[in-house]
Structure formats: C-alpha cells, structure tokens
Amino acid sequence: MFSSVLVIKRINVIKLFLRTTTKSFHRTMAGRTQKVLNVAEKNDAAKAIADVLSNGRYRRREGFSKFNKIYEFEFNILNKQSSMSMTSVSGHLLELDFKGSYQKWHSCQPVALFDAGVEKHCPDQFKDIKRTLEREARQCQVLVIWTDCDREGENIGTEVIDVCKAVKPNIRIYRARFSDFTPQSIISACCNLVQPDYRSSDAVNVRSELDLRIGAAFTRFQTLRLQKIFPNVLSDQVISYGSCQFPTLGFVVERYKAIQNFIPEMFHKLKVSHETEDGRVDFNWKRNRLFNHTACLVLYQIVMENPIARVISVNSRPKSKWRPQPLETVELEKLASRKLRINAKETMKIAEKLYNQGFISYPRTETNKFSKDTDLQGLVQLQTVDPDWGGFAAGVLQRGPNPRNGNKTDNAHPPIHPTKYTDNLQGNEKRLYEFIVRHFLACLSQDAQGQETTVEIDINGEKFTAQGLMIIARNYLDVYPYDKWNAKMLQGQTSPPPLLTEADLIALMDKHGIGTDATHAEHIETIKSRMYVGVQQDGRFVPGELGMGLVEGYDAMGYEMSKPHLRAELEADLKLICEGRKDPKVVLAEQVQKYKQVFIEACAQALKLDEALGTYFGEAQPFAEQDMNPVQVSPPVRPCPQCGESMVIKTRKDGGLMLSCMGYPDCRAVAWFPANVLEATRDEAICTRCQPGPVHKIKFKFKRGSVPPIIPLDYLGCIGGCDETVCELFNLNYLRPQQQQHRGAGGGGRGRPVQPSRGDAGRGRGNTRGNGPSPPRGGGNNGGPFPPRGGGGIARGNAPGVARGGSNDRRNNRGAGNTRDFHTGNQSNMGFLGVGDSGRTPLGAVQSSGDGNAVVCICGQNARLLTVRKEGNNCGRQFYKCSRMDNPCDFFLWADDNAPSAGDAFSVGSNNSYNSNNHNNRSTYNARGDGGNGNFNNQPGFGDRQSHSSGDGFGGDGFDGDVPQCNCGQPSVTRTVQKEGNNKGRQFHTCVKPRGEQCGFFQWADAPDNSGAGDGFRGGFQGATGRGRGSRGGRGRGRGNRSNSSDGDWDQENSRKRKPPKCGACGEIGHTKRGCRNKEF
C-alpha cells in the first residue's frame, strides 16, 4: 500500500515537471519567434500570397476594414521561423491635398496654389485600414512590403512604411519583388528580400504634387472665369486642366484640323487588268500617277494604239510575316482596342483582375523580351489541355519555345503572359485572357512563310507590274487569328488622314512621353468625361466645341500648352529621379516655377481664351475680375505665428476686411479690421523687427474722420505687433499664443466665464506658481481667459521696483522691471512709477505727473492741449499731443477721454512692466497688496510666463461695461429672438462674426450678473492654493485646482454648497442647456 502511494506521488511529480518544462519551452520559443507583418496592395493579392506561402493552410481573421482581411500562418523567412500576418491596403492609403483654406475654391487667387502648403492625409474611407496597420505593426518586429513593383507600388509601400514607423520607429523594413503569383515567383521574392526603392517613390511624390498644383490652379482659373463669361453653356461644368490630359486633347484636335485643312488634288493614272479562267489580275503603272490630265491622256492614247502586253520578267522570292513580340502594356492597350474593340480603361481593369486572380503576370510593364531564367516550357505546358489551342501549344513544346524578343525592359517585370490555365471565364474577361494566351504562344512559335511572285509587262513602251503571294507555311497564323496575310495591291491617292482611334492616340502618347503605360487609359477617359472629345460609332475621336476652343485659345497666347513638350520634359526628369541622377526637390522647384510663369502669362492674356471660345459659344458676357473670386485675398502678408501657414488679407462677403490664416479651420488665427478701414493692400516693404518673418507692411486707407488727425488717412503700418498705432486701432488677438489649460485656486467658485467678471475682486492669501496667460498685477485679478478690469492696489513685498497707484491698463504702466519683446526678442529695462488711472487711455505712456492732472506723453513731457480746427465731425474738439517741436513722439489723446476716475489708489510694492503686444515676462513675485477700482482693456495677447507669488491682497470693485465679450475676445452683439415660442422678443448676446465663423458664445441679456469671490492673484496660474473673501460673492474659503477659470456661482449663504444648475438657454434653474425643453432656436 505504501509503495503504491509512493509511485502515484512520483508520477504526479513527473507530470508537474513535464507541464512546467513544456510551458517554459513554449514561452522560450514564443520569445524567439519573430512576428512579421506583410502588406499587399489589394486583398486578392494578400490572399494569393498567403495561399502560396502557407500551402493553403492560413488562418483568416478580421481587421478594422471589412474589405481587407488578415491571413496568419507560419513561415521561415530571413533564416528564422516567423509568425506571419498578411494584410493589404486598397491602393493609395494617403491622399495629397492643400492645407487648410486652400482647399476651398474661393479661398485665394489660383496663382497662390503654386506656393500653397500641401500635406498628405488619410481619407475617411481608408482610416480603418490605417488602424489595422497601426495595431498590427505594434506587435511585429519586421515589415515586408508586397505592393506592385512599379512606381505607384513603391509609393504605396512608402505610405505603409510611414504609417507603421509612426507607431513603431524601430520596425525593420524589407521589400519583396515579384512579377506574378506563381509559387516560384513568391518563394523567390521571400528568399531575396531587398530595401524599398525610395527614389521611385520620390518621383511619384513630385509628379503628384505637380499635378495637384498645376491642375488645381488652371482648373479654378478656367472654371471660375468661363462660367461667368458663358453662363448659358458652362454654368454648371467643371473645366478641368491637366498637364497630361491637355496634350492628349491636343493630339485629337491636331488630327481633326489636319483633316479640315486638307485640300484634295486631282491626279490621273493608267490601270491594266488581265482576266483568265483562274481570276483577274490588276497591274500597277510604274509611273504611279500624274497630276497633268493632258500628259496622262497622251500616254493613254499611245498605249491604246497597240494594246498587246509583252512579259518582260517573272521573279519569285520567299517572303516571311513576322510573329509578334512579347506583350507589354502599351501594345496590350492598342491591340485590345483594334482587335477586340475593348477600350483601354476596360482593358486595364480586366487585366488587373486577371492578375489578382493569378491567371496572368503583372499587366503594367514596359518589357517586351523574356529573360533566360523564364520557364517557358512550363508555361506552355499549362496550355496544352485547352481544346482550342492545346494542340498548337504541344507543337511549340516539340519544336522548343523560340521567343521573338524585343529590345525594351524596365528591369522589374517580364512581358505579360499567362501564369495559370482557366476555362471558366466569361465575356470580355474570357476574350482578353484568350488573346493574351494566343499572343504568348504565337511569339514563341515561328514566322509565317510564303512565296511572292512579281510579273512585269510592257505595253507600247509603258511598263506595269503585278504581285502575287502564295502562303507556304502559316505557322503562328494558325493560333493567332488577329493577323491576316494575303495578296493585295496597294494604290495611293491624295486623301486626308483618318481621325484617331484609341490605339492611334495611345501610340502618340507613348511616342511623345505623355503619361505612362499605367495612366494612358485614365487620361483618355478624362477628356471623354469632360466632353472635350467625343467618340464616333467607328471608335474614332472627334473634338468637341469646348475642347477646340480651349486648345485654340491657349495656342493663341503663344504657349503651345496642347503640345507634349512641357510634359515630356517632366517625364524625362522623373526617370532621372528614379535613376538617382536628379534631386527630386530641384525638379519640383524647377517645374513649379516653369508652370507658374506660364500660368501668370495665361491670366494676362485671358481675353484670347474668351475670344476663341466665343467662336463656338456666342458672344461673351461682360466680366469683371472680382467676379471670378468673390472672396478677394491678397498675396501672403506674413507667416501665422500659431501654425506657420500664410496669412492673407481677405474681403468678406459683407465687404469687411480681415487678416486670416490660410490654415483655417485647423488654425483660427484672424485679425478683424474695423469698419473704418476702407482698403488694405500688402506692401512690398518688410518689417525688420517682427518675427517670424517675412512680415510685409500693409497700406491702410481709413474713412475720413474716423481716426485722429495725427494719423494720415493713407497709412503704412505693420500688423506684426511692433506698430503701436496699428495695435491701438486694431484688435490683434491672433498674436496671442493658443491658450493652454491652467490650474488655479482661490476663494472664487468654478466655471467657465463667458465674459469678464463684474464682481468685486476678492481678498485672498495664497501661493501661486505656474504658467498662465495673464500677468499678475498689483491689485486683485480675476481668472479665466479674459483679462479682468480690476483696479490697481497697494502692494508690499520684495521686488525690484516701486509702484504708486499703478493702473491695470496695459498702456498706463511705468516702473522698474525687465521686459522681453515678444516678437523681436530684444530685452530692455523700463521704469514703473505712476498714479493709477482707471479711465481708458490711448497707446502710449499717458500718466498724471506731479503737476496735478497734467497729461504726460510718451517722451515723459507734459503734453500740449490743442483744438481741432479742420471742418468735420471733430471740429472744436480738444486733444493732447507731444509738446516737443523737434522729433515729437506719436502720442495722441482726446481731451474728453482723459477724465480722472474716483478709484485711484496708492500702492507700494513690486511689479514688472508688461506690454501685451511687445513683451513676454518671466518674473518672480512676492507681494502683499490692497487694490482699488479700475478697468482693464482687453489685452491682445500674452506670452507664456512663469511666476511664483505669495501674498495677501484686498481688491475693490471692477466693472467691464454693458456689453459682454465673446470667446473670441470681441465685444458681443445683441440680438432678439424672432422665432415663435416662449422666448420670442427676448434679447441675447452672441458672437459678432458671421454664422459659419462664430465661436459659440451665447448669453441671455436679462441673465443675472456673474458674481464670485476672487483671490489676490487669479490670472489662471497652475497649482494655486488660497483663502479668499469676496465683498459681493459672499464669504468663502476655498482650496483646490481650477481649470482656466475663476468665475463661478456660489451660494451667498454658504460658499461650500454647490448652486443648483442653471440653464444657459432659457435661464431657468434646475436643468442644463443640454436637457432644456424651452429652446426655440
């Protein structure tokens, strides 16, 4: 019994050991097994490759895209057993487009598109594919690209690489090169992985960007102009332009004009016929033809005097008809169009499908010769089972394949040939597959052989000849019914050339380097869909009226844009990029400038285009240049300080002007010009101070009487922030860095303010350190994104300066402290000493000195009081200006704007002067102060600042006026509800901008004022702690984090209790705006 138990225990120990060892082994092997992500260009290709590599034993699972599956299997690759994941994209994963507002047709003048920023982005329909790649790439160590081995395939592969490396930078990259889905080709590609061809991808990027810029600029120019000039015909039509499609159109127009301009000429010839029981033979005159009727008539009479023929010679010689060369893409398109009557677009679509199914090799190739390594015997053997051409294939095997090779190769793909036999195809798929098979067998066979006999006769001195052909061996003709060979007689006549067929057009495009073998069909389809050309019943092209007018119009300008020269130069440069002999950036810059110059000249001579089209569409309608682009924009004024895109002057639909970023809607930086600006144009002068540059100055034209007399009506100013006059007249909020969320604490409540607070500043004690957009001041300061208008105050503490009654107005600060210019980076020391003044003051250091209420100009001198004598709205009005006669400063102040306020307070403490337009402070505060009343002007923008402050402060009342500010920092507009309902007739405040550009601000006009406690420094700083007591918001003690706000609703009885929610739509208490049932608009 004891021994049995011992045996059982030993068995259990052994089992435990085996389980532990097995798990450890599997963990070790799993750690050693590398994971490989394989990406093909299409799902069919991914499935075919996975089927070959796994011997049909792959496991399928779903990705984020239902059209692109994931196939998993084990395979030894890179000399290591690997876990393979095979997935796919659906062609190009990324799309090139203009940035921001440039995508809109009316956002800029078309010429600006040659220099506009472009970017690649993932379209919505491919985002699921992108997510799949990102998820799989994170789990893999190796990425293998299996896209098609041409330029476009290399570019698609590069897009996949960029997406995967963005989530896993250290993933190893390899490229598999193959030409078909046969096991030999796929296994060979796995054993010979290479690096991606980034040069070919660069060539595609250059071509794509050029096509985008050129096509968009000319298309917008043509469409916007011609729709206005010929509204009855072209009002709804997009008149596109492409650097490939236009020369393609030019070939059709050129052939049509050659036929129209052809002048037939009469000629005369002699013809001799000989009839026998076996048939009739026609003899050709050795003189061929004569254009002189009399001379031909004389010779005819001589012949007829003795019409007996004498045989001079009979010659017989062997003659051959050559078998076709191996098939390449251009020949496939031409022959399918001629022999099968299938157009090029349909041909390539079918060929692509047959390739993905594994029936033929890659259909986009320039190679027309087989390499010595190609297994021709095996390929022919596959076709011997067919009842139609199987016997011929067997004969080829007996004699041995003997291809008639050409002399072209792209060193990437073999000629098009069948790779698998099938007999279950239907329709055009079956016809095209049969053509490819028969062509393949014919090129491996032998030439047709015949015997040609030539007979020469003489009739009274005039000689005539006849030829006959006897076919001895048909050879390749037995399997290739698309060729005919028989005895025929050729005769010439003066007749016009025929209209172009699709095959003729493809041949011309290939000859002149227009497009590639992969894009010929696309360009032909484009000119057909745009109605530039039509197709007759016999398949020949005839130009339409619009196509004729466009070609004639551009030709009249002197630029042969319908000729292939410009595009052929680009195609040649692209080949040099692929070979590494040209820099893609240089090619891009050269081509952009070349086409830009052509575009500028075309715009200057646009009337010739109107005249040419007027021949076909009737008289042109009157046209003004501004009609072409309702939203007028200027050339770039400056780079946007927030995103780097160009900022331009735009004319809004209501006639107003603005400086707007072209990165909209991603970037919303904008400077709205006031209504008194009648005109604003970019000047060529560049500001030397403002950065980032270049910042062009602007010529402003002001409305008469809307600006102080000291400012000329035609004013040249800088919008970059250095021009104090412009800063005073305009709101330069766009210079403010984009707001970040900051944390703060204090006695006030939580909430996002919709306007500057109208409550008393609180009394608080706390420590503050962090970054924030609002600088600390001597007095109480409310938080949030809007600078509060609190008064100056008493401040005591350690600081490098003294302040006496400092006002919180940004233009009324003088004191000791360090400042750094926000735009230029220049550092300077400025004094801070003065008596606070809550009244609004102009741009400049306007302060009261020791002489009572004397006004001091920027120079520090007492200003002179003058009176306006000029007739106008301001006649008799008094104003202050600098009293210096030599080199006066630009100080100006209306006298009736200099009324002293009752809330001035005395303060002693520390502060660093801060100009919101020009300075960015980094300072440390340690202050204690009491504040008085005062107003803050809305400050255009602050740089980031770091500060540390601890102190006590007591604030007085602050008031911001009657109209609240919206989230843009602009005064809001008051409107009245017109819609029927409970709120009809009720007034509300909203953003002043047009509906599509509003910031979302909304407030009922009859809503209660915001009130709340404030702390000593509530400028949106991080990590603040403090205690506060508010005079209006009640008493409160608070400690915690705040996000970008200091306003809030606190119960007057107990500030610790949260106030019930209040609806922002109807104003009722107890529910929020989201659940409001009273919303009427």
Catalytic residues: 362
Q: Which two tokens stand for residue 942?
A: 């602050």
**What φ, ψ does residue 577 adopt, rounded to 5°?**
-65, -45
3-state secondary structure of 54: coil
**Nearest alpha-carbon partner for 634 in 659, 604, 671:** 659
Q: Do the bridges between strand 34-40 and strand 646-651 make them parallel or antiparallel, or are there none, so unpaired? A: unpaired
Q: Which two tokens stand for residue 280?
A: 């009739």
**Euclidean distance between CA atoms 349 and 364, whole angstroms:** 11
Instruction: Give the contacts of 191 (CB within 8 A, at least 6 positions apart).
Output: none
> Are 761 and 955 within 8 A, CB to CB?
yes
Label residue 684 exposed, middle or buried (CB < 10 Å: 0-12, 13-18, 19+): exposed
> Are 364 and 518 within 8 A, CB to CB?
yes
What secondary structure letter does DSSP report for 407?
A: S
Burial track 2-17 (b if 16+ CB lie within 10 A, e otherwise): eeeeeeeeeeeeeeee
Tokens 């000329």 found at: 712
**Euclidean distance between CA atoms 1050 and 714, whole angstroms:** 52
**Euclidean distance between CA atoms 314 and 456, whole angstroms:** 7
3-state secondary structure of 980: coil
**Euclidean distance between CA atoms 663 and 660, whole angstroms:** 9
What secondary structure letter does DSSP report for 674?
A: P
* CA 574 remoteness from chain centre: 21
**Euclidean distance between CA atoms 1080 and 373, whole angstroms:** 78
User: Mind spelling out the 3-state secondary structure of 110-126?
Assistant: HHHHHCCCEEEECCHHH
Q: Do the bridges between strand 34-40 and strand 142-146 make them parallel or antiparallel, or are there none, so unpaired? A: parallel
3-state secondary structure of 862: strand
**Euclidean distance between CA atoms 943 and 669, whole angstroms:** 15
3-state secondary structure of 587: helix
> Are 972 and 966 within 8 A, CB to CB?
yes
Q: Sign of the CA dihedral 351, 355, 358, 360?
A: positive
**Euclidean distance between CA atoms 868 and 875, whole angstroms:** 5
Q: Do the bridges between strand 927-931 and strand 945-954 make them parallel or antiparallel, or are there none, so unpaired? A: parallel
**Nearest alpha-carbon partner for 246 in 24, 539, 570, 1:** 570
Instruction: Give the contacts of 169 (CB within 8 A, at least 6 positions apart).
Output: none
Distance (Å) of CA 334 to CA 58, 251, 414, 440, 572: 40, 16, 19, 16, 23
**Nearest alpha-carbon partner for 906 in 879, 878, 940, 929:** 929
**How is 289-319 classified by DSSP, letter by letter?**
-BS-HHHHHHHHHHHHHS---EEEEEEEEEE
> Are 662 and 101 within 8 A, CB to CB?
yes
Q: What is the CA radius of gyration of the chain?
A: 42
Distance (Å) of CA 229 to CA 29, 545, 557: 74, 16, 19
**How is 992-1024 classified by DSSP, letter by letter?**
SS-GGG----EEETTSPPP-----S--SS-TT-
> Are 901 and 884 within 8 A, CB to CB?
no
